Structure 1
Amino acid sequence: MSSIKEEKIDRRAFSTALLLSAAASMISTRGMAANGFPPKARNVVLVHGLFADGSCWTDVIARLQAAGLNATSVQNPLTTLSEAVASAERVLARQDGPTVLVGHSFSGMIVTEAGAHPNVSALVYVAARAPDAGEDYAALAKTYPTPRATAGILFDGDEGRLSEEAFLRDFASDLPEAKAKVLYAVQPPFLKALLTGKTTNAAWLSKPSYYAVSTEDRTINPDLQRFMARRMGAKTIEVKASHLSLISQPEEITQLILEAAGQLA
């Protein structure tokens, strides 16, 4: 009888160990691929966020092209999240192999959703939103101090934009004023409806992920950036830059993208 009881106890202990092991495995798989070597990719698709257009990636694109990569900047329509995701997916579908998908600022929402595309081999977030599936990003952001740029958002009906003062002081604070004014002049408006969208999946759960935190950011709180990067298990760098690190520090951002593309030894 004692041997039967011992066998039952052993089986119960074994089953418990299996369940605990499975749970630990599920937790550790979040972002686990980012700790290994990403698939080699020659294509890079870049997506811009609010208060900018596709040309904001110009300095990064030039460096990627010099490294022999094929780079394409998506023109985000800034209308609704579903339309913005569709614009990125159309570009991704045209790529001829593994592709690194890169997003800045708001377009982290797009990267998180469109990153499930089979052509996407890795994700790069540049001072970007990185929500979980179905997460209310605005509610998450409210758990951190409100960045200064938020107060500078102006609305004309359903169209939103950033005031010139906030653009120069808080959005592009580490750029020469003359350059920042040019970027302000080409700022496209976004629709309020864009801000209400939620992602239905989180590509960073299954794709190698990388994150560039802007330590001097006044548009997305740097500590919120660190939280999102840590949650996804991303390979993370910190750049002493404003929200526009892709313009003020293009070399560092390019190097992170090249690493995500498996192009660095």
Structure 2
Amino acid sequence: MKTNFTIRMIAVAAAAILVSVINPLKSVAQTAPIKNIVIVHGAFADASGWEAVYKILVKDGYHVTLVQNPTSSLADDVAATNFALDRQDGPVVLVGHSWGGTVITQAGNSDKVKSLVYVAAFIPAVGESTLDLVQTVKDQPKGILPPDAKGNVYLGKSTFQETFANGQSKEKSDFMYDSQIPLTVKAFTDKVTDAAWKSKPVYAIKPSNDETIDMGLEDTMYKRANAKVTHVTGGHTLFMTQPKAVAAVIEAAANGK
């Protein structure tokens, strides 16, 4: 009897030691900062505009992947984003600008994505398209030209700097205009089928002077997504003019702050 009792006590003690070792390791694993960042650009631009943010994040020890999405349809852009996510070797912070917000809302359902960062971005709900959101406000964006024969939508030259490239130099604005990538009508009307912000932490950056997305609409979308909002001085492409501030929010998301 005494021997059996001693054996049982030894077993209990061993189990307690094992739990004490495992639990701290588990806690560390759960609170460890995320090191993979995937960034999805918006319409009318490509990923190269994120170079300044990229350099800051890489210098700070992050592994950054920039998606060159075709902006041809929601499905195509989600596929391009999922391809980038599949290449990551661990958990990811997924970042989207403008139209890229619609893309990360759908692509963010990947198990690898642990948090979402919306930068002056659209945040549709299930069953909503980007156009649906735009049409909820009275004042429509300036300078969007009618679709061409192939269904591509461009921004006009006369209002490009005022709206999309607000805060950029004229020289930079002219370059951005001449290198713009169109958004298709299909992409603009495709509806989200599964909104990742419903189940994952959301961070959002609101510019002080966004002339592309209605700022009241941004407030509505950010509130609905229960986003932790950071206000940053700048226009719609503030990730180019305020890279340190934008990188700081991304790093906060990576560290769960």
**2:201 equivalent in structure 1:** 208
**What are the within-5 Å matches in structure 2 for residues 62-73 of structure 1?**
62-73=55-66
Report what 2:144 is aligned to: 152
Show the 5 A alignment for 1:159-238: 159-238=152-231
RMSD, aligned CA: 1.7
- Cα contact 2:129–2:188 (8 A) shared by 1: no
Residue deviations 1:220-242, cap 9 Å, x none?
01111111111111110112211
Q: Which runs of 5+ in 2 are unaligned?
A: 1-29
Q: Which has the higher contact order (CA 8 A, sep 6+)?
A: 1
Instruction: Give 1:46's aligned residue.
Output: 39
- Secondary structure of residue in 1 paired with 2:205: strand
The number of equivalent residue pairs is 227
- Structure 2 CA distance for partners of 1:194 and 1:139, relative to 1, 3 Å: closer
Letter of the 1:125 counterpart: Y
Alignment-derived partner of residue 103 in structure 2: 110
Contact 1:38 1:208 in 2 (8 A): no
Within a 5 Å distance, the mapping from 1:240-251 to structure 2 comes to 240-251=233-244
Please list the CA deviations of residues 86-120 of structure 1 after superposition, one character each: whole Å capped at 9, or x if unmatched.
00000001001011000000111111000010111
TM-score by length of 2: 0.84
Alignment gaps of 5+ in structure 1: 1-36
Does the alignment pair 1:92 with 2:85?
yes
Structure 2 equivalent of residue 134 of structure 1: 127
CA contact (8 A) 1:39 1:261 kept: no
Please give the TM-score of this superposition, normalised by the length of structure 1.
Answer: 0.81
| Greater radius of gyration (CA) | 2
Report SS of the residue matched to 2:159: helix
Give the AA of the match of 1:208: P
